[in-house]
Amino acid sequence: MIYTAIMGHGTVGSGVAEILINKRKMISKQIQNDIEVKYILDLRDFNNLPYSDKFTKDFGMIINDPDISIVVEVMGGVTFAYDYVKQCLTAGKSVVTSNKELVAEKGAELIKIAKEKNVNFLFEASVGGGIPILRPLVQCLAANSINEITGILNGTTNFILNKMIVDNMDFDSALNLAKEKGFAERNPAADIEGHDACRKICILASLSFGRHVYPEQVKTEGITQVTLDDVDYADKFNCVIKLIGQAKRLKDGKITATVRPTVVSRECMLSNVDGVFNAITVNGDATGDVMFYGKGAGKMPTASAVVADVMDCAKHIDARKYLFWEDGYDGYVTDNTEDDIKLYVYAKSNDFDALINSFNSIFGADTVNIKNSYNNELVFITGFGKENDLINKINSLNADEVKIMHTLF
Ligand code: HSE
């Protein structure tokens, strides 16, 4: 018999409990061992559930119970989660988590403890919700050196942007809908300001490139500045706006990592990833591009990934799964301004003629552009160039207001 405990009974935790309890027979058959949820840790009362007897408010019950060999952490946040997970691993219990903040900030340390204690620390659900991505990355793509990872990593922002694009819905209404559907974080600022996607690109980059990438090393920008006008202009260029996370390996062994709203050509596959769906393209030196697609948030998709990890732990209770990266260091993540890129530029000036004249002399009249003299707005996509050169040119425009977004063609 394998006994588990679930720490947290929120959106994901309740999904995990439901699957583990309702599908106990099927799961036990697959892992060839009976599995039982013994405790559910939560400070709130849940008296009307068929499994109410399993609730405890006392972490001591879990950590001091030698029967418990697998603990699921789905509380979120770092403070308590870090303390409890560290204690569980140190006590020789395997841990499964969906907590991207925890893994992105403390992953290297927790993996090290798991290795020393010969237990598992698995976190498939921390990236891409229900999409299998971490396991394929370390197992199926193991023969590759990974060059680049590019993806839509946050379901809430993709849902919001999609609502703005397709239904012309304003930002706040779309965010409220995402909250109602259980996609958003408890504090949705983590979604809309890009921190959630940042944590996920940290985990992907750490696994792919072998060293811990910390959130503060990633240049991160959310979607709060994206307006319906930007969405409209992007559409006129046959593009859509997506929050894109990207990490690349450079020739000197360092890496770049960014999260930012990006103007994506409709010819690019990522432009078709709508609603709460996520998609991640991994470029390996042997495979070329491989794409992973599925629901990136929500109760059951995320719970599905958590339970699969629990089952994997149960099947490997005495044999650790290899999932590892080393500590990072200052300067490991660096700016890459050497690639040839195109930028999307929105410029506005009270002196529209002066803006157009400066644009014509700096960029040349043949750049693809939209002139909206009614609003004194000029929007264009630059030709290919180095980022610093393009930004210097943009700064020379005779404009009162400028907004720049990266592009993906
Ligand atoms: N808030 C997250 C998202 C949940 O919207 O992607 C899944 O990690």
Look up 242 and say whether it is catalytic.
no
Query: Reduced to 3 states, what is the DSSP secondary structure of residue 62?
Result: helix
Q: For 218-259, what is each residue's pLDDT tens digit? A: 999 999 999 999 999 999 999 999 999 999 999 999 999 999
Q: For 354-376, what is each residue's pLDDT tens digit? A: 999 999 999 987 788 898 989 99
**d(C-alpha 98, C-alpha 383), whole Å:** 41
Rounded to a whole number, what is the distance in angstroms from the first to the last CA of the chain?
53
Lowest mean pLDDT among 68-72, 182-186, 287-291, 310-314: 182-186
Query: Span 277-303, mean pLDDT?
Result: 97
Q: How confident is the model at residue 16 (pLDDT cuts 50, 70, 90)?
A: very high
Return the pLDDT at 340: 95
Phi and psi for 203 in degrees, rounded to 5?
A: -65, -45
Does the CB atom of residue 222 touch ligand 1 within 6 A? no
Phi and psi for 367 in degrees, rounded to 5?
A: -65, 140
Q: For 38-67, what is each residue's pLDDT tens digit? A: 999 999 999 999 999 999 999 999 999 999
Q: For 298-339, what is each residue's pLDDT tens digit? A: 999 999 999 999 999 999 887 777 688 999 999 999 998 789
Does the CB atom of residue 297 touch ligand 1 within 6 A? yes
DSSP string, 183-237: -S-SSTHHHHTSHHHHHHHHHHHHHHHSB---GGGSEE--STT--HHHHHHHHHT
Does the CB atom of residue 382 touch ligand 1 within 6 A? no
Q: Which atom of ligand 1 is nearest to the CA of 100?
A: 8
Annotated catalytic residue within 54, 163, 200, 248: 200
Return the pLDDT at 366: 75
Distance 255 CA to ligand 1 centre (A): 25
Distance 30 CA to ligand 1 centre (A): 29
Residue nearest to atom 7 of ligand 1 (CA): 297
| Residues 70 and 97: beta-carbon distance below 8 Å | no
Q: HSE on the CB side for 166, CA within 13 Å? A: 12
Tell me which of 154, 198, 300 to substitute to probe ligand 1's pocket, judged by most ligand atoms within 8 Å of the beta carbon: 154
Does the CB atom of residue 208 touch ligand 1 within 6 A? no
- Owner of token pair 């709130």: 44
- Which strand (E) or helix (H) includes residue 63? helix 59-63
Return the pLDDT at 316: 87
Taking every pair of Cα atoms in the chain, the longest distance, rounded to a whole number of angstroms, is: 77
Token pair belonging to 287: 């495979």
Distance 14 CA to ligand 1 centre (A): 16
Distance 166 CA to ligand 1 centre (A): 21
| Residues 89 and 61: beta-carbon distance below 8 Å | no
Cα distances from 294 to residues 140, 148, 270, 312, in angstroms, run 18, 20, 12, 21
The sheet with strand 55-56 has its strands ordered as 55-56, 35-41, 2-7, 68-73, 94-97, 121-122
Q: For 153-179, what is each residue's pLDDT tens digit? A: 999 999 999 999 899 999 999 999 999
Token pair belonging to 6: 């679930």
Cα distances from 134 to residues 48, 76, 176, 201, 283, in angstroms, run 36, 19, 30, 12, 14
Query: Reduced to 3 states, what is the DSSP secondary structure of residue 351?
Result: coil
Closest to 123 (Cα-Cα) out of 190, 193, 200, 186? 200
Return the pLDDT at 325: 92
Count H helices and E strands in the chain, helices first: 14, 18
Q: Any idea what DSSP says for residue 83?
A: H
User: What average pLDDT does the structure give for the chain?
Assistant: 95
How does 211-225 read in b/e, with b if 16+ C-beta sit within 10 Å? bbbbbebbebbbbee
Token pair belonging to 338: 């050497």
Tell me which of 102, 196, 259 to substitute to probe ligand 1's pocket, judged by most ligand atoms within 8 Å of the beta carbon: 196
Angle, alpha carbons 322-325-329 (nearest 5°): 170
| pTM metric for this prediction | 0.96
**d(C-alpha 4, C-alpha 122), whole Å:** 14
Tell me which of 131, 179, 191 to substitute to probe ligand 1's pocket, judged by most ligand atoms within 8 Å of the beta carbon: 191
Query: Span 283-300, mean pLDDT?
Result: 96
Distance 56 CA to ligand 1 centre (A): 27
**d(C-alpha 178, C-alpha 184), whole Å:** 6
Cα distances from 133 to residues 102, 207, 283, in angstroms, run 18, 11, 13
